[in-house]
């Protein structure tokens, strides 16, 4: 495949030969196991270790099945996959999955959301997923969730280009309630103000000062820096417009998870591994996703693979939706409290009113919210 069949190489390892070689140059030195080398039995090369690990993440097949494909001992396969995933995360995380460190970094993300999704002062879209795992030994109901499966919780924020910028993974599935967000590193960081978020600034074309915000669905709490939709049906036009605009920006994280699950099929079925190892595999897949979105986007995520819109704002569903179901990466329930402060409600009302002004509206929003099937 490396020599003569580039398409099969991508389908097999989810990256081209050139990108594989670049990744190997980064992680290869940390995958060398010299102490096992001998004249009779040489050590497994870093390239083989990396290829084996990528194949495991790309297929989601059992690690034992790789024993037949790579002719490596079953116990050795398990060890290689775990060690390589740790190396992949540690090497790629600092460059490709690091949270924005300065106000300028956050403002750059906001500018992308404003340009691509017409949502000003947006710092990212947030969502949570259950990563389904096999029932851990002697764990009782610790990882048992309300959907009747065992899982760990993945909470993530993405930028406007379908890249993860904040990731919190590992909370047990039974905590899929109002406590997940407040217990997460992201939730605590927003409470403590340790994310270096920029201060409020006027909405474009106005003098109305508005805080920078994250956008999420109804599962998240309403806060001054976190927007969620208005609840209920039969909403008036301006409220329906806000919900449409919020949903349009929030769809980015839905597509990010969709790309992740479509390319790394380990998320298409329950992960047959202990919870700690499932966390390691998930973090490695996220790091690889960002690495490929940055370095090989046209192949990893070609045109038409994600949701798009025509000139009238009509949704064109991405091809990933034909490949992904909720088998191993399922929607999470309520992960934030329903109570909100008056100041948080005022911030949401501020954005709602702005989207009805000539400076904040998009021409097709009224058509969408006034459709009978909206």
pLDDT, tens digit, 9 for 90 and up, residues 268-308: 989 999 999 999 999 999 999 999 999 999 999 999 999 98
Q: How many angstroms separate the CA atoms of 374 and 370, rounded? A: 7
Q: Please report where in the chains the tokens 């709602």 appear, as a residue.
A: 352
- Find the mean pLDDT for residues 136-146: 82
Q: Please report where in the chains the tokens 């890249």 appear, as a residue.
A: 163
Q: What is the pTM of this model?
A: 0.92
Q: How many angstroms separate the CA atoms of 184 and 157, rounded? A: 12
Instruction: Give the pLDDT confidence score for residue 142 in this predicted structure.
Output: 82
Which residues neighbour 309 within 8 Å (Cβ) at sequence distance 6 or greater? 315, 316
pLDDT, tens digit, 9 for 90 and up, residues 337-357: 667 789 999 999 999 999 999
Q: Please report where in the chains the tokens 């109901």 appear, as a residue.
A: 141
31 pLDDT more than 60: yes
- Please report, for the chain, the start and end positions of each structural domain, with discontinuous segments joined by +: 6-96, 103-369
pLDDT, tens digit, 9 for 90 and up, residues 67-80: 778 888 888 888 99
Task: Measure CA 122 to chain center.
Answer: 17
Q: How many angstroms separate the CA atoms of 65 and 272, rounded? A: 12
265 pLDDT more than 60: yes
325 pLDDT more than 70: yes
* Better-predicted residue by pLDDT, 202 or 184: 202
- Find the mean pLDDT for residues 176-189: 74
Burial grade of 159 (CB within 10 A; 0-12, 13-18, 19 or more): buried
pLDDT, tens digit, 9 for 90 and up, residues 87-101: 999 999 999 998 898
Instruction: Give the pLDDT confidence score for residue 4 in this predicted structure.
Output: 87
- The neighbour count for residue 348, using CB atoms within 10 Å, is 22
Task: Measure CA 344 to chain center.
Answer: 26
Of the candidates 157, 152, 184, 145, the one whose C-alpha atom is nearest the C-alpha of residue 170 is 152
Residues of the chain by 3-state class (helix, strand, coil), percent to 5: 50, 15, 40
* Better-predicted residue by pLDDT, 33 or 268: 268
**CA torsion angle for 75, 80, 82, 85 (degrees, to 10)?**
-160
Which tokens belong to 253?
């994280």
Helix spans in 97-184 (H): 103-117, 179-183
Of the candidates 245, 228, 261, 214, the one whose C-alpha atom is nearest the C-alpha of residue 109 is 214
* Residue 229 and residue 335 in contact, taking contact as beta carbons nearer than 8 Å: no
pLDDT band for position 374 (50/70/90)?
Answer: low
Q: How many angstroms separate the CA atoms of 47 and 55, rounded? A: 12
pLDDT band for position 219 (50/70/90)?
Answer: confident
- Find the mean pLDDT for residues 145-153: 86
- DSSP symbols for 180-227: HHHHSHHHHHHHHT-S-PPPPEEPTTS--EE--EEE--TTSPPBTTEE
Q: Please report where in the chains the tokens 């960002």 appear, as a residue.
A: 290
């Amino acid at each position: 495949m490396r020599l003569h069949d580039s398409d099969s190489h991508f389908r097999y390892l989810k990256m081209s030969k050139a990108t594989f070689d670049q990744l190997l140059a980064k992680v290869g030195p940390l995958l060398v196991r010299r102490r096992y080398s001998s004249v009779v039995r040489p050590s497994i090369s870093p390239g083989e270790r990396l290829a084996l690990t990528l194949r495991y993440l790309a297929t989601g097949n059992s690690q034992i099945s790789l024993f037949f494909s790579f002719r490596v001992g079953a116990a050795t396969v398990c060890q290689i996959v775990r060690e390589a995933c740790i190396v992949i995360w540690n090497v790629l995380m600092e460059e490709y999955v690091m949270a924005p460190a300065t106000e300028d970094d956050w403002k750059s993300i906001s500018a992308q959301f404003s340009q691509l999704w017409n949502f000003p002062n947006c710092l990212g879209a947030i969502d949570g997923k259950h990563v389904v795992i096999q029932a851990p030994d002697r764990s009782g109901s610790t990882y048992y969730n309300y959907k009747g499966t065992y899982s760990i919780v993945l909470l993530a924020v993405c930028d406007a280009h379908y890249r993860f910028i904040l990731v919190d993974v590992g909370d047990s599935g039974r905590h899929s309630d109002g406590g997940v967000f407040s217990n997460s590193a992201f939730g605590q960081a927003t409470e403590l103000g340790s994310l270096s978020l920029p201060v409020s600034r006027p909405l474009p074309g106005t003098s109305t000062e508005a805080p920078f915000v994250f956008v999420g669905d109804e599962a998240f709490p309403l806060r001054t820096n976190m927007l969620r939709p208005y609840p209920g049906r039969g909403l008036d036009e301006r409220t329906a417009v806000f919900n449409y605009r919020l949903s349009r920006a929030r769809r980015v994280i839905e597509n990010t998870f969709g790309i992740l699950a479509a390319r790394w099929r380990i998320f298409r079925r329950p992960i047959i591994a202990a919870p700690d190892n499932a966390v390691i595999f998930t973090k490695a897949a996220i790091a690889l996703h960002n690495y490929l979105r940055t370095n090989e986007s046209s192949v990893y995520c070609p045109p038409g693979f994600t949701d798009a819109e025509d000139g009238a704002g009509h949704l064109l569903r991405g091809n990933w939706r034909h490949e992904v179901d909720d088998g191993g990466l399922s929607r999470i329930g309520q992960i934030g409290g329903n109570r909100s402060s008056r100041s948080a409600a005022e911030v949401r009302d501020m954005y709602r009113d702005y989207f009805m002004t000539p400076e904040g509206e998009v021409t097709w929003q009224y058509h969408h919210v006034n459709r009978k099937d909206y």
